[in-house]
Amino acid sequence: MFAVVIDERSRSEVARVRAYSEDPRNYYRAGGRPAAKDDGHVCVVGIQPYGVVACYTVSFGTALDGRERLYRHLSLAFIKLGLPTVVDPVLAAEVVRLFGFSGGLSDWQWEADPHDRFRIILLQPYVPPPAVC
């Protein structure tokens, strides 16, 4: 088992990526520039470390309603070889909470990337907080 050590540099990087990705001008839309190629969406978290790509993804609705939906989207990967061959979901959950995901593993749509044993991808429908008048 590995512990995730979240230092102040990591917290600062998470805050930077969250601020950037929460700006509607930086939402990812199909056909746009991939978030992984935009440094505003990318950071390294932890001493181990994990590479993180975080963004909000606009998705079109089903054929029945056609509405757009907004999802928090996060890809988390080990960036050094020699670590465990699969991302530990418990460790991932700790990192993911830093990015504003609520709930726990059973509340998120997540899967290990079938082409990359070092990566997991998470989605969570995003409902903005009510406006304060």
C-alpha closest to that of 107 among 125, 132, 120, 119: 125
Tell me which DSSP letter residue 129 carries: P
Q: Which residues contact 7 (CB under 8 A, 6 or more apart)?
A: 46, 47
58: phi then psi, degrees, rounded to nearest 5: -90, 125
| Each residue's pLDDT tens digit, 68-123 | 788 888 887 776 655 545 566 677 778 888 888 877 767 777 666 555 555 666 66
d(CA 72, CA 6): 21
Question: For the chain, which residues make up each domain, given as ranges?
Answer: 8-125
Query: Which residue has tokens 């899967």?
Result: 111
- Pick the most confident of 14-23, 26-35, 49-58, 87-96: 14-23
The pTM is what? 0.76
List helix spans (H) across the chain: 8-22, 89-98
Q: 58-62, long-range: CB within 8 Å, 24+ apart, which pairs?
A: 58/27, 58/28, 58/29, 58/30, 59/30, 60/30
